[in-house]
């Protein structure tokens, strides 16, 4: 799916199949998530989700690759820019800016990789991890959360469990195991 736009639709671009490519698509002002990926091994490159009520990008499938996408202005406090529960997904070089929820949220799932992403000015945590055995490296997160219950970087697990946090740039964090 290349060079499409959608507005005012619920579940605008919903991918349940496997091995699809979504490139240069634009979704805006929709009541549901902009992009919802429940299939496996899909690739999303250079897409924009702007002004969604819920997640900009929802990822429940496994082994998907997202690179250089933008999630901006989700308008509900549970609306993360990127909301992930699948396993083995990789998000590289994506941006989450000015969302009411978290910028990037892994609420469960294992072996996901967040590498070189940017999360700025989100009302909740910039990157929030609830799953285990995930790798979060070389990301930038600034101006996110309130610094009390939400932070630039947050791990919901005691001592980060088996999550690896390395070489990230940030102002606030929930635990010393985040680096």
Spatial separation of the C-alpha atoms in residues 165 and 157, rounded to whole Å: 12
Whether pLDDT at 77 is above 70: no
**More confident of the two residues 9 and 135:** 135
Report residue 147's pLDDT band, with 50, 70 and 90 as the boundaries: very high
Spatial separation of the C-alpha atoms in residues 46 and 154, rounded to whole Å: 26
In order of 107, 138, 145, the CA distances from 148 in angstroms are: 19, 23, 8
Amino acid 10: pLDDT? 81
Report residue 95's pLDDT band, with 50, 70 and 90 as the boundaries: very high
Q: Average pLDDT for residues 3-15, to the nearest whole number? A: 89
Let me know: does 12 contact 35? Beta carbons within 8 Å. yes
What pTM was computed for the model?
0.96
Amino acid 21: pLDDT? 97
What is the SS3 assignment for 29? coil
**More confident of the two residues 119 and 11:** 119
Whether pLDDT at 157 is above 90: yes
Q: Average pLDDT for residues 151-165, to the nearest whole number? A: 96
Instruction: State the DSSP code for 6.
Output: E
Mean of all residue pLDDT scores within the chain: 95
Percentage of the chain beyond pLDDT 90 is: 87
Count CB atoms within 10 A of the CB of residue 74.
32
């Amino acid at each position: 799916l290349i060079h499409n736009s959608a507005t005012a639709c619920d579940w605008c671009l919903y991918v349940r199949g496997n091995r699809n490519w979504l490139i240069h698509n634009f979704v805006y002002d929709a009541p549901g998530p902009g992009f919802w990926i429940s299939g496996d091994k899909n690739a999303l490159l250079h897409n924009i989700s702007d002004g969604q009520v819920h997640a900009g990008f929802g990822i429940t499938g496994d082994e998907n690759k997202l690179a250089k996408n933008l999630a901006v202005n989700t308008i509900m406090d549970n609306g993360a820019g990127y909301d992930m529960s699948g396993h083995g997904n990789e998000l590289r070089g994506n941006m989450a800016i000015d969302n009411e929820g978290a910028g990037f949220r892994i609420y469960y799932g294992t072996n996901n990789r967040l590498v070189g992403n940017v999360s700025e000015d989100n009302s909740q945590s910039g990157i929030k991890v609830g799953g285990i055995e995930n790798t979060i490296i070389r990301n930038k997160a600034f101006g996110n959360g309130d610094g009390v219950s939400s932070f630039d970087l947050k791990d919901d697990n005691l001592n980060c469990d088996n999550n690896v946090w390395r070489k990230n740039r940030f102002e606030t964090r929930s635990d010393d195991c985040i680096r």
